A and B are shown apart, each in its own frame.
Chain A
Amino acid sequence: MIHPVDTILSLALLSILFSFGSSRLPGLIKVMAFQGVVVSIVPLFVGHEMSTGSVIFTIVTLTIRGIIIPGCIYLAIKRVAIGREVEPIVGYHASILAGLLLIVGATFASHHIDVPYSSVSALLLPTAIALLGAGMFLLMARRNAIAMVLGYIMMENGIYLVGTSFSMRARHIVEFGILLDVLAGVMIMAVILQNIKQTFDDVDTARLRTLKE
């Protein structure tokens, strides 16, 4: 029988492929919002006893990861009228192929790793690894600064999956602190993005080349 968490995780994997294939920023942000929602509900299905605290925490996580963080970025591009392409260094088709290879590689790698909770879901570790790798791919393969921020968020999503699912020690207050840091980080990045757009009239990072040796 397919465990519900596997269905959810396969949606997260699908969102990686979608994000690699999307050429326009608003589309990419929507994919990331979807991914944020999917990732935040995973802990509800993985081994925890359902307590009021964990339900409230899930709702808070979902709001921040799925609504506020993408909302911040979306507002940033709205306010300074950035609606352009993500300026790929690696083309979209090649990116999707790379995404597929990444998922296969992550599944392969996770078979060789002995994790205490692999009984919970077979897809958990592959998804986490794939999200991490995909985030790094976006950081490297897109010149647009916003796509890079989204890559960072995807990496964070991957780490969140590793964290909440494998290790059940961190208390909610600590996890909330981590979430708050990520949120503040993204907000600051959004402010910098707006300033970059105003100063350079573009968010193409190829223009950020004055400081180098």
Chain B
Amino acid sequence: MLEIVFLIPFFTGAAAFFLPDKIGRCLLVLTGAIHLILSVIVWAGRLVPLFPDYFAVTPEGLLSLLVISLLFFLISIYTIAYLKASDIHAEHIFTGSMLLFLSTMTMVTLSDHIMVMWIAIEATTLASAPLIYTHRTAASLEATWKYVLICSVGIAMALLGSVLVTVAMDVGKVDAPISFSAMTEVAKQMDPMWLKAGFVFILVGYGTKMGLAPMHTWLPDAHSEAPSPASALLSGVLLNCAYLGIFKTNKIMHAAGLADFSGPILIVFGLISIMAAATFILKQTEYKRMLAYSSIENMGIIAFGTGIGGLGAYGAMICLIHHSLIKSSLFLTSGNILLGFGSRLIDQTGNLVNRMPKTFVAFFGGFAGISGFPPFGIFIGELLIIMGAFRTGNYVSAGLFILSLCVIFAGFANNIMKISFNTSDAAIRIKEAPSLVWPQYVLLLTSLVLCFWMPDTLYQTIIHAVNTIGGGF
């Protein structure tokens, strides 16, 4: 029974709303652990869906599921220490929403039906809205409002797109279930015009949620106002979930022989996102917003790579996994800095290397990883994408891509240096408890290990996933 993977967090999440804070915290970690075990069982292929019309195990879903599960477990351990150190109103709402959020994201990774996918992605918006409003400030309220409204309107576009894809089946007189796997098989018979229209709407819709520019405006606000564990989830895994919707639709496009249409659109959206991030990251005064713009950059890279296809698609998958691991660790670390210095402004922090040495290690390691230093995975991913772009003759876009990456690196490095080495006389408000730093170490270490040694089953799953969108060597 595959559905149990998202039903368990759903029920524990619903229960956490009514339980005392202490039990809620235990429930958070416990559910994280159970979820991780179940995900491994799913990976081993031991769980069969009860409703095969709606849910299925796909290679791209498996990858996202495992990432979500691992991240959530580590984040839940961090969350306990974070909750102890910070003062959060209505903690039961926070823990309950975290678990519901996990449940809805898991549902996204397992759903195969095009409408169920939409339902699940919209549900992630709803479950995560209370997380952003946790601090109950005017700014967080504004961020929540923008998040819910922009994402709901955006995702409504994706619903329209999904409907148009089914119209493409009707016009092409195809009789098949409207699940992604069935549609990919009959894609050739579907009406190309309606399919193209559906793809554009789905890309704009889920692209809003994924943070592709110019629909990204909600993202820096939401990611910076949410408490750090929630930001880590939003940035590390929620964006992947939205990407999954685009990925699966792109799969249909490839099967229908319309890759020439979907590829350039993805490339353009990807490049706009990377360039928008480059513009805004240079002048950033808040470190959490800076990380949020870096997420927009990485989503742009992934969309770009997917559009390139071939080597690029494989590179995009690598970037997707490593971005989740590294960015979530960075957001958790930014939580430590916020707890320590009590401010989100870069100017109010400084001398992290001496003040919070353990946090500094995680922060600097994360920075090295995310900005594409070898040997971290983002480096390999970006290199493959650039090689793929040259191979397919996209010289201009590859040039823009490299230029923007350099600008982003400069802006990012400048701010990181300020935080790490500037002088500061602020008093540090917390002690660096072990569980406030080692989840980040584990995340970074996982990313590092995956660069040198990737289990064969993982490699096969990635290859299997990207083969469907014309990826691979």
A173 to chain B, nearest CB (A): 9
Q: Are A208 and B167 in contact (CB under 8 A)?
A: no
User: Which positions 130-170 of chain B face chain A at CB distance < 8 Å?
Assistant: 133, 138-139, 141-146, 148-149, 152-153, 156, 159-160, 163-164, 166-167, 169-170
Complex CA–CA separation, A192 to B138 (angstroms): 11
Q: Are A189 and B178 in contact (CB under 8 A)?
A: no
Q: Which residues of A contact B177 (CB under 8 A)?
A: 169
Q: Are B166 and A167 in contact (CB under 8 A)?
A: yes
Complex CA–CA separation, A170 to B166 (angstroms): 9
Q: Are A210 and B142 in contact (CB under 8 A)?
A: yes
Complex CA–CA separation, A166 to B166 (angstroms): 9
Partner among B54, B133, B145, B156 whose Cβ is within 8 Å of the Cβ of A152: B156
Nearest B residue to A151, CB-CB: B153
Complex CA–CA separation, A181 to B125 (angstroms): 10
Q: Given A181-B126, A185-B125, A188-B129: A159 and B156 within 8 A (CB)? A: yes
Q: Which residues of B contact A196 (CB under 8 A)?
A: 141, 145
B413 at the interface (CB under 8 A from A): no
Tally of A-B Cβ pairs under 8 angstroms: 103
Starting from the known contacts A195-B133, A199-B138, A211-B221, 17 additional A-B residue pairs (CB-CB under 8 Å) come to: A114-B171, A152-B152, A159-B159, A162-B160, A167-B167, A169-B178, A175-B115, A177-B116, A185-B152, A192-B145, A195-B141, A199-B141, A208-B142, A210-B138, A210-B139, A211-B146, A213-B280
B28 at the interface (CB under 8 A from A): no
Q: Which residues of B contact A199 (CB under 8 A)?
A: 138, 141
Complex CA–CA separation, A126 to B29 (angstroms): 52
B113 at the interface (CB under 8 A from A): yes
Q: Are B116 and A188 in contact (CB under 8 A)?
A: no
Q: Are A174 and B113 in contact (CB under 8 A)?
A: yes
Bits for A135-147, please: 1 = Cβ < 8 Å to B, else 0.
0000100000100
Q: Are A208 and B145 in contact (CB under 8 A)?
A: yes
Q: Which residues of A contact B129 (CB under 8 A)?
A: 188, 192
Q: Are A169 and B156 in contact (CB under 8 A)?
A: no
Residues of B within 8 A of A (CB): 54, 113, 115-116, 118-119, 122-123, 125-126, 129, 133, 138-139, 141-146, 148-149, 152-153, 156, 159-160, 163-164, 166-167, 169-171, 177-178, 220-221, 225, 280, 283
A86 at the interface (CB under 8 A from B): no
Complex CA–CA separation, A156 to B122 (angstroms): 13
Complex CA–CA separation, A116 to B168 (angstroms): 10
10 example contacts (A-B, Cβ-Cβ < 8 A) are as follows A139-B153, A149-B149, A159-B160, A166-B163, A181-B122, A184-B123, A184-B126, A188-B129, A189-B148, A192-B129
Q: Are B148 and A132 in contact (CB under 8 A)?
A: no
Q: Which residues of A contact B125 (CB under 8 A)?
A: 185
Residues of A within 8 A of B (CB): 114-116, 132, 139, 145, 148-149, 152, 155-156, 159, 162-163, 166-167, 169-170, 174-175, 177-178, 180-181, 184-185, 188-189, 192, 195-196, 199-200, 208, 210-211, 213
Secondary structure at the B interface, as helix, strand, loop or mixed, is helix
Q: Given A162-B163, A169-B166: A181 and B123 within 8 A (CB)? A: yes
Q: Which residues of A contact B122 (CB under 8 A)?
A: 181, 185
Q: Are A200 and B115 in contact (CB under 8 A)?
A: no
Partner among A115, A174, A210 whose Cβ is within 8 Å of the Cβ of B167: A115
Partner among A181, A185, A213 whose Cβ is within 8 Å of the Cβ of B148: A185
Q: Are A188 and B159 in contact (CB under 8 A)?
A: no
Nearest B residue to A168, CB-CB: B170
Q: Which residues of A contact B141 (CB under 8 A)?
A: 192, 195-196, 199
Q: Given A159-B156, A177-B116, A211-B139: A170 and B145 within 8 A (CB)? A: no
Q: Which residues of A contact B113 (CB under 8 A)?
A: 174
Complex CA–CA separation, A177 to B107 (angstroms): 13
Q: Are A155 and B145 in contact (CB under 8 A)?
A: no
Partner among B118, B139, B167 whose Cβ is within 8 Å of the Cβ of A116: B167
Q: Are B145 and A145 in contact (CB under 8 A)?
A: yes
A-B pairs, top 5 by smallest CB distance, nearest first, are A167-B166, A177-B119, A181-B122, A211-B221, A208-B142
Q: Which residues of A contact B153 (CB under 8 A)?
A: 139, 152, 155
Q: Are B115 and A178 in contact (CB under 8 A)?
A: yes
Complex CA–CA separation, A115 to B170 (angstroms): 9
Q: Given A159-B159, A208-B142: A167 and B126 within 8 A (CB)? A: no
